[in-house]
């Protein structure tokens, strides 16, 4: 298993334009049996994206020992108010092997665009 994975999420407003603004933040979460893990929180870039580098060790916790495929979801906040909660993407597989070279691939996953209409 690779040590670092990259997650990119894209968000738009109700008109389909990139969601932006200094007061928007996105949290990347891993749903677990008892306690969800916060894998990171980032402000939105001007193009409506948030990028996260996730260490493989961060997806492991006492209620998900040996987890290799996290159940990811995103929470968007405007200031202190939650304005968007994505669906849960179950068992996201980050690392697959190229059948020819045997090298790891798929270490970056993109999600979205998600339309954020409630702010």
Q: What is the pLDDT of residues 98-115, one digit of tens each?
A: 778 777 666 899 999 999
Tell me: pLDDT of 63 over 70.
no
Mean pLDDT, the chain, rounded, equals 87
So where are the chain's domains?
4-115
Written as one string, the DSSP assignment of 68-101 is -S--EEEEEEETTEEEEEPPPBTT----EE-TTT
- Gyration radius of the chain over CA positions: 15
Q: Rounded mean pLDDT of 55-61?
A: 74
Residue 70's φ and ψ, nearest 5 degrees, are -70, 155
Looking at residue 2, what is its pLDDT? 62
Contact 54, 38 (CB under 8 A): no
What percent of the chain shows pLDDT beyond 70? Answer: 87
Looking at residue 16, what is its pLDDT? 94
Domain 4-115: CATH architecture, name and number where available = Sandwich (2.60)
């Amino acid at each position: 298993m690779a040590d670092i994975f990259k997650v990119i999420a894209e968000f738009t407003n109700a008109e389909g334009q990139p969601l932006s603004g200094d007061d928007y933040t996105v949290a990347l979460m891993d749903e677990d049996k008892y306690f969800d893990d916060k894998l990171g929180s980032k402000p939105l870039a001007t193009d409506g994206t948030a990028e996260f580098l996730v260490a493989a060790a961060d997806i492991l916790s006492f209620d998900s020992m040996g987890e290799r495929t996290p159940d990811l979801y995103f929470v968007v906040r405007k200031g202190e108010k939650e304005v968007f909660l994505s669906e849960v993407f179950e068992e996201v597989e980050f690392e697959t092997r190229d059948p020819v070279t045997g090298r790891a691939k798929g270490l970056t996953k993109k999600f979205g665009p998600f339309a954020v209409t409630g702010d």
